[in-house]
Amino acid sequence: MIPDDRNEELPLVLIIDDDPSFCADVEALLLPEYRVRSAASGAPGLRILQDEGPIAVILDLFLEKGENGLFVLSDIIERSPYIPVVIATDHASPETRTEALERKAAFFVEKAAGRGELIAVLRKCIESAQQRRAADYSRKKEEEAERDGFIASSPAMRELSAKLERVAASAHAPVLLLGESGTGKNRVAREIHQRGPRSGGPFVEVLMAGVTESLIESQLFGHMKGAFTGATSSQPGWFEVAQGGTIFLDEIGDAPPCVQKRLLTAIEERKITRVGANHPRLVDVRVIAATAKDLDAMVRNDTFRNDLRGRLDALRLTVPPLRERKEEIPALTRLFVETVAKENRIPEPKVSDEAIAFLQRHRWGQNNVRELRNAITAALILHAHGGILLPEHFELRGEEKKDETDSLDYKQERDRLLRRFQWDFFERAFESVGGSLEKPTTAEIRAVAELTGITEQALRRIRHELLGGDEQGTAIGP
């Protein structure tokens, strides 16, 4: 047989069995979908497990020189709990079968049942293990995200939430999230994932900032064994882990040039190539990217690819800073007080009205919601142990917010205030006729037009500007 360099890129199945003919039969059935390595006993099998990272193991309970496969099973589960182990053996007692399953074997198959049944069981176990791993990863991230919360009680966030609902309905279109640092872009990305058709798949978050070029390539796209110093086994990247779900690329403006090119290929062709591999792999993921940087300026300065910016910019959402949604500070404060107290196992204090008012007056800067959470964490740990949270417990940088507006640009501030007024006014108008601003019926539009004294055409235009972007309806962000 002519060697095929693509074999190294196939997922690996490890067989630990001292019967060469059995190993050869199984390998013939698994090729060309899987690559197969075999070992006659536990020690070499565990070395392959450590070095090459198989996606599944077929294990006999009666190995070379009388070695007990149950002990090997325990070693595999301890080292790699996500790798399914299918026991394939002959003449095992019911007690042995029970013990193998208690030791977390994925399935037990008698060799006499035939090779076809073994392969069918193996495929099901691989699929189940991959789903469990993705679900565990998503659950862990969801638990982390719950501590940040998604609160949309201010006009600015209600407007964002309405747009977010429509953006989430799309399964494939990339999304670009803009906004200052700490505004909660990662939480918005998770909301898009959870409200969309990919909610059953994994949500994988990747921070692009502060990582070396070679490392971020390996993390995103995976690598083959020997691709670089220290690559002792082949590993999938985050795009493969996110298969069927969503990958969130935070701080996309920090992506190095070589990674930008590979990201463009991943988005346009839905293919990635592991570092050190010669052939691409298909991936089915939705890409959401976020940045606090001005990508348009970066394109003009040749530090960000224009074609990648264009692909990411299919749907654009801007997350407003905390100073434009101060109505949410009471709810955010109470949420953070509860979660920080639980995390640090300290009594939860009450939040005084004076503390809420103090936080609402503060001029929140570039770290926004993150700064609020950090301030609450410090106040709880250093001062308010189960008592009452007071203004003097907060050590905030900067100054309290004054009555004057943050922006002195007349047109910008006028447009912002006009949009906020229109949103509040027409939201109340639609509610008064039993409808909603986001999804009204034709009859409700007619009723609101009569109620407010404007034409239906003017009302539709205002709704379009509030909810849909520009005249062509292509822009999603405010």
Domain spanning 323-393, CATH class: mainly alpha
User: What are the domain boundaries of the chain?
Assistant: 5-131, 147-320, 323-393, 410-467
Under DSSP, is residue 227 helix (H, G, I), strand (E, B) or coil? Answer: coil
Per-residue pLDDT in tens (0 to 9) along the chain, 478 residues: 333 444 556 788 999 999 999 999 999 999 888 889 999 999 999 999 888 888 899 999 989 888 999 999 999 998 888 889 999 988 778 888 889 888 889 888 888 888 888 888 898 888 887 777 766 665 555 555 444 456 777 888 888 888 888 899 888 899 999 998 888 899 899 999 988 999 888 999 999 987 788 788 888 999 888 888 877 778 889 999 999 999 999 999 999 988 999 999 999 999 999 998 888 888 999 999 999 999 999 999 899 999 999 999 889 999 998 888 888 889 889 888 988 888 888 888 888 888 898 898 888 876 788 889 889 999 888 876 657 788 888 887 654 444 444 455 677 667 767 877 887 788 888 888 888 887 788 888 999 999 989 998 889 888 877 764 433 333 233 3
Pairing state of beta strands 107-110 and 85-89?
parallel
Half-sphere exposure at residue 404, Cβ-oriented, CA atoms within 13 angstroms? 5
DSSP-assigned letter for residue 11: P
Task: Give me the count of residues in the chain.
Answer: 478
- Please provide the DSSP assignment of 262-310 as one string: HHHHHHHH-EE--BT-SS-EE---EEEEEESS-HHHHHHTTSS-HHHHH
**147-320 and 323-393: same fold?**
no
Burial state string for 230-251 with b = 16 or more CB within 10 A and e = fewer than 16: eeebbbbbbbbbbbebbbbbbb
Contacts of 220 (CB under 8 A, 6+ apart): 206, 237, 238, 239, 259, 262, 263, 272
Q: H or E segment at 186?
A: helix 185-195
Half-sphere exposure at residue 43, Cβ-oriented, CA atoms within 13 angstroms? 3
52 and 40 Cβ atoms separated by less than 8 Å: no
Domain at 5-131: CATH code: 3.40.50.2300
Q: What does pTM read for this prediction? A: 0.56
Q: Structurally, what CATH architecture does the domain formed by 147-320 represent? A: 3-Layer(aba) Sandwich (3.40)
